Amino acid sequence: MARKKITATTDNSEWKEPKKRKPRKPMSVEQRSAASERLAKAREAKLEKNPNYGQSSIHESLRNLPDDHQLSPSKIKHWIKVQQDYAKSERASVRQNIKGAIAKLANHEGYIRNMQTYLRHGTWVDMFYGEQMQGKIRNRCIALGYYWFGPKAGQVKRSVGTFYPDMGCTYTQEMLEEENGYERPRDADGASDNRPVVRKRRQKSKAS
- Render pLDDT for 124-171 as a digit per residue (tens, 0 to 9): 999 999 999 999 888 889 899 999 988 888 888 999 889 999 888 999
Say which residues have a Cβ less than 8 Å from residue 104's Cβ, sequence separation at least 6.
86, 90, 93
Domain ranges (residues) in the chain: 44-136, 138-201
Say which residues have a Cβ less than 8 Å from residue 154's Cβ, sequence separation at least 6.
146, 147
State the amino acid at position 194 in one-letter form: N
Specify the DSSP element, H or E, that contains 154.
none
Q: Is pLDDT larger for residue 75 or for residue 48?
A: 75
Task: Fill in the DSSP letter of residue 62.
Answer: G
- Chain mean pLDDT for the chain: 84
- pLDDT value, residue 151: 86
- pLDDT value, residue 196: 53
Over residues 92-117, the pLDDT tens digits come to 999 999 999 999 999 999 999 999 99
Q: What is the pTM of this model?
A: 0.59
Question: From CA 147, how far away is CA 153, in angstroms rounded?
Answer: 5
